[in-house]
Amino acid sequence: MGPTRSRFRLAVSLCAATTVVVTAALAGTVPAQAAAGCRVTYTVTSQWPGGFGASVDVTNLGDPLTGWRLTWTFTAGQVVSQWWNGTVTQSAGRVTVGNVDWNGSLGTGAGAQFGFGATWNNSSNPVPVDFALNGVPCTGRTTGPTAPPTTTPPPTSAPPTTPPPTTPPPTTPPPTTPPPTTPPPGTGALDQTTTVGRVRAVGSSAQYTWPGIYFEGRFRGTGVGVVLNDSQNDYLVQVDGATVATLVTPGRTTYWVRGLADREHTVRLVKRTESPWAVGEFGGLVPAAGGAILTRPAPRSRQIEFIGDSWTAGYGNMSTTRDCSGNGGVTRNSNADVTFGALTAQSLNADYQLVAWSGLGMVRNYNGGGTDNFRTYYETDLQALWNSTVWQNPGTWKPQLVVVGLGINDFSTALNPGERWATVDQLAADFRSAYLAFLDKLRSRYGPDTFIVLTYPDLSPTTALASSVQQIVQTRAGRGDTRIRSLYYDDNALGLDKLGCDWHPSRRDDQLLAGALTRFVNTLPLTW
């Protein structure tokens, strides 16, 4: 069994927060002929010995900005150690945060939000001072337009005899942002489309991080626009069941599909890639001129939840070579829409979730890395994002089938000195205990009628994963759980080539795995 690449970063814990709306002392200069001003909300989201997490909301109160830079000063020796949704530099106590590609434009009244983790002295963690946006102090109010400096001497002739007009200027300021080039969607993204994924509504948009999230809609006309704000992920756009575009880190855009027959169509947007620390945002659909967005399609009656690691997420499955360093890397070669889970669900006409994270295990991550495991994040809506919380099931997600594929990362690499297990037997015992508790959680969430299938591949020469899964199923059955099964993916019998990045399943392998899983599912007495 080849390696499963780990992706870890410290996740800020979510607990009671301290929020301070900051007004800074005057400093800096105001650009000529520009109304400027800003407001900052600084929130300590969590704090522990030696470290803390914080989020910052900055609102532009002045004229629109096409790029921004927020500065502040730490006064007690705090040092930023990691960050997201911005670029950070620090010199002594002075911190500078710049925008990233997708959040650089700030219209009047618009805001940007970013977060960071930092160290502190365990004695004092005061709020920073001297917040300034592009050099303008964040006082919570605007500074009016400043006349440009005089560069020519004043005229020597007498002033005009006609007095200036005394009529006051209009009370309604002119618009400060250009009109949109395309009309916005009439309703929110989640009103226009159907999704069963773990998403969070933010205004009229939907945010998400888990791989394979998809949105399905209907429209009438010759074209449709897909509104996106995502500089991290890749997407597929599908119309009437056919892929019409692959969008690579599209950023803030409306992607148009044009030239269609003037009739009713379906449209599907799919997130191909993983992004545990970066949120994607779907803003909805826009009809072409003369067209209309139609009522969203009904969800499917069948639902399947796939829980797993890189195999489930589609890590590098589009590659035809195990070394992906020369063909675009892992992300460009990953496609969650053609994983064995997605293919199985599509063959069974089922809606599905891919709750998967490369490199994480049940109790031990790949090669013993990191301190958090998959169970840490299973219930989250936005994975390790700074503001992630428990996903609130809207009550419509009731999978009749749950397929779990965890354990590869726990057992595929040898134990390292210093890990908390001295032997593989100790690791296996801990794995079984945690797995049984995880199954208790699934039963509590979905009830006794949901079928749960525990899958495992060949990890020769170790049999620790196979024997552990078999013991878990026997233990559950002994407790009266009659709707639990195990499924072994036999590499040799299936003919897997593992030509995906870093010895992962290839697209061909995903098709073979989907076939094996679909055949197995069809033997279960499912009532769906």
Strands 129-133 and 136-137 turn out to be antiparallel
The full DSSP string for 95-123 is EEEE--GGG--B-TT-EEEEEEEEE--SS
The full DSSP string for 51-73 is EEEEEEEEEE-SS-BSS-EEEEE
362 CA to centre of own chain: 21
Instruction: With beta carbons less than 8 A apart as the criterion, state whether 338 and 314 touch.
Output: yes
Q: In angstroms, rounded to a whole number, what is the distance separating the alpha carbons of residues 136 and 147?
A: 16
Q: What is the enclosing helix (H) or strand (E) of 136?
A: strand 136-137
Instruction: With beta carbons less than 8 A apart as the criterion, state whether 273 and 248 touch.
Output: no
The full DSSP string for 233-263 is -EEEEEETTEEEEEEES-EEEEEEE----SE
Is 506 designated active site? Answer: no
The full DSSP string for 496-528 is ----BGGGB--HHHHHHHHHHHHHHHTTS----
66 CA to centre of own chain: 24
The full DSSP string for 257-320 is E----SEEEEEEEEE-S--TTS-EEEEEEEEPTT-EEEPPPPPPSEEEEEEESHHHHTTTTT-S
Catalytic residue among 6, 205, 275, 310: 310
Q: What is the enclosing helix (H) or strand (E) of 439?
A: helix 424-446
**CA atoms lying within 13 Å on the CB side of residue 2:** 19
CB neighbourhood size of 156 (10 A): 5
What are 489's strand-pairing partners? 457
Active-site amino acid positions: 310
